[in-house]
Structure 1
Amino acid sequence: MLASTAVSLGSLGSQLLNSPSHNPTKPFLLPLNKPLLKSPNSITSSSFLKSRTSVRTAVAAVDSSDAAVQAGGEGGSKSYHFVVANAKFMLDEEEHFQELMSERLRLYGERNMEQDFWLVIEPKFLDKFPNITKRLKRPAVALVSTNGPWITFMKLRLDRVLQDSFETHTLEEALASSRIDIEFEKPVKWTAPYAKYKYGWWEPFLPSKTSNV
């Protein structure tokens, strides 16, 4: 039995060697019925480098897009985004607004980031938005920022505010306001489980005097 098997294999080898398509410089590969499947961990170094290059390219594209947004529009103008509501709601009634603002200011301080958000009392840019002003009780307060996505987040968080954006050439124009004194009546009885916000908590978020026209 073993002898006949050896003879058969020997005959097969001779036929393969004498085949016209045989190339002695290349290894002979037997045909496979199914393709070889690579292990999920068998990633070549070239494939890995290509994937890293693609990731870097994608990140670079996102960074450049963000830079373009921050750079502003044509002619040196810059986009400013805002949410606005009456002063009573923004500064005296909304339960979470003061905490959100203080937390963001603290974060910017820890990361040494330049402040890009402000509270503007009776902003002059509202004259450009008659559809908004006709829905507002006055005086009004706007939260203005160059960070559009964050303003959208604040719109969803505060809910009862109006949102829009505009372009202007200078920060002074964007934050120009008709500064007025605002006062809120103290509630006869305070029943909330937390202390009422102190009057004037919004002062650190107002534009500096040099930012007012």
Structure 2
Amino acid sequence: MSAMTTLSQACWAAAVVKPKSNTAISHIQNPKPKSLALPLSANSSCGHFFSFNPKTTLKSSSSVRTFVAAVESDQLSSSDSADKEKPSRYYFVVANAKFMLDDEEHFQEQLCERLRYYGEKNKEQDFWLVIEPKFLDKFPNITKRLGRPAVALVSTNGPWITFMKLRLDRVLAESFEAESLEEALASNPTTIEFEKPQKWVAPYSKYESGWWGSFLPPRTKEGSKA
């Protein structure tokens, strides 16, 4: 044989030679994935580590939802309670009773007109006259300037009270907070009496004494005296 033929046969033999073991080829073609080591405690087993109990899981989820709902409900209740307990602000103008109820007749006209307007609009009354109001104890700088007995026009409508302050002029104005309407309109029992003028020169009749009874808080209307 020629040298070329011998070399060709040697290459062919090397190409078709079989490996000693099929295991080596199988291992190369289909390598097995390495197993993952999981951190298990000494007393636990794989079955216990991967176990799933639907009842326990559902119970846990239900407990979480119940807890969250309870917290939200508690927060809502606290918020509602805070809103209910929040005090309201009341505005007032005040002067001595003689000026407010007897001398300043425009004052009576203003109140009657506003009450008529509220009736037409079906609005709830939000203003009252309070004779000798208890809240004046909170305002020593005002009480020392007042003739007594004193009368206050109290309302939850701040802008309107500001208007009445400008309209009446010789009155003092302020505001305060109270937990309830009853507290805001609380008064000290007082009898109001005015002497009739000996001579009346106006072209119209003087308003009858006691006209202010319609504007007193409901619980004091029956007890008012003129």
Alignment deviations for residues 107-161 of structure 1 (CA, whole Å, 9 cap, x no partner)? 0011110000000000000000000000000000000000000000000000000
CA distance in 2, matches of 1:194, 1:74: 49
RMSD: 1.6
Q: Which residue of 1 aligns with 2:124?
A: 114
**TM-score of the aligned structures, taking structure 1 as reference length:** 0.63
Match of 1:136 among 143, 146, 158: 146
Q: Which residue of 2 aligns with 1:81?
A: 91
Match of 1:155 among 162, 165, 168: 165
2:109 alignment partner, SS class: helix
1:179 alignment partner, SS class: coil
**Amino-acid identity (%):** 75
CA distance in 1, matches of 2:104, 2:220: 29
1:198 alignment partner, SS class: coil
Specify every segment of 5 or more residues in structure 2 that has no aligned partner in the other structure, as ranges: 1-82, 222-226
CA displacement at 1:95 relative to structure 2: 2.5
Higher helix share: 2
Alignment deviations for residues 143-193 of structure 1 (CA, whole Å, 9 cap, x no partner)? 000000000000000000000000011000000001211100110100122
CA displacement at 1:195 relative to structure 2: 1.4
CA distance in 2, matches of 1:122, 1:199: 18
Report if aligned partners of 1:119, 1:143 keep a CA contact under 8 Å in 2.
Answer: yes
1:167 alignment partner, SS class: strand
Is the counterpart of residue 205 in structure 1 residue 215 in structure 2? yes
Structure 2 residue identity aligned to 1:107: Y
Q: Which residue of 2 aligns with 1:29?
A: none
Q: Which residue of 1 aligns with 2:199?
A: 189
Q: Which residue of 2 aligns with 1:123?
A: 133
Alignment deviations for residues 47-87 of structure 1 (CA, whole Å, 9 cap, x no partner)? xxxxxxxxxxxxxxxxxxxxxxxxxx995100000000000
1:202 alignment partner, SS class: helix
Structure 2 residue identity aligned to 1:84: V
1:137 alignment partner, SS class: coil
CA distance in 2, matches of 1:99, 1:194: 13
**TM-score of the aligned structures, taking structure 2 as reference length:** 0.59
Kindly tell me the number of residue pairs found equivalent between the two proteins.
139
Match of 2:103 among 93, 102, 107: 93
CA displacement at 1:194 relative to structure 2: 2.1
CA displacement at 1:210 relative to structure 2: 7.6
CA distance in 2, matches of 1:148, 1:140: 20
Match of 2:114 among 104, 110, 113: 104
2:211 alignment partner, SS class: coil
CA distance in 2, matches of 1:93, 1:194: 14
1:120 alignment partner, SS class: strand
Specify every segment of 5 or more residues in structure 1 that has no aligned partner in the other structure, as ranges: 1-72
Runs of 4+ in structure 1 off by over 6 angstroms are none
Is the counterpart of residue 168 in structure 1 residue 171 in structure 2? no
Distance change (3 Å), C-alpha of 1:167 and 1:74:
farther
1:189 alignment partner, SS class: coil
Q: Where does 1:15-94 land on structure 2 (aligned, <5 Å)?
A: 75-94=85-104
Q: Which residue of 2 aligns with 1:31?
A: none
